[in-house]
């Protein structure tokens, strides 16, 4: 988590070590860029997105290290501003 989130090592597959990654750029509902990453070696998939409140960075995996308040694996609580935290 530290290497990927804090150092910005997003173009590296943490499952198999491959550095050849397919990247697709899309946009969030708030207009921030989000990136879909797919490893060309093991097909691991992850997303770099942003929270809807202030645009803080979120890294989303099938097994997330950010807090998930719902059963939906791609819905995360922002670790910086707590956007998405249930009331």
Q: What is the pLDDT of residues 72-86, one digit of tens each?
A: 667 778 888 877 777
Q: What is the DSSP letter of 69?
A: -
Q: How far apart are CA 79 and CA 12, in angstroms?
A: 22
Question: Residue 67's pLDDT is what?
Answer: 64
- Closest C-alpha to 51, from 26, 29, 73: 29
Give the integer Cα–Cα distance in Å for 67 and 25: 24
Closest listed residue to residue 85, CA positions, set 61, 63, 56, 62 = 56
- The pTM for the full model equals 0.78
Model pLDDT, residue 72: 67
Q: What is the pLDDT of residues 10-65, one digit of tens each?
A: 888 988 999 999 999 998 777 888 999 999 999 999 988 888 778 888 888 877 66
Domain boundaries, the chain: 1-87
């Amino acid at each position: 988590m530290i290497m990927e989130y804090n150092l910005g090592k997003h173009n590296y597959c943490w499952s198999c070590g491959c550095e050849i990654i397919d990247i697709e750029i899309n946009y969030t509902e708030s207009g921030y860029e989000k990136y879909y990453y797919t490893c060309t070696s093991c097909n691991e998939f992850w997303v770099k997105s942003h929270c809807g409140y202030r645009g803080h960075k979120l890294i989303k995996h099938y097994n997330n290290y950010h807090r998930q308040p719902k059963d939906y694996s791609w819905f995360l609580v922002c670790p910086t501003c707590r956007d998405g935290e249930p009331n």
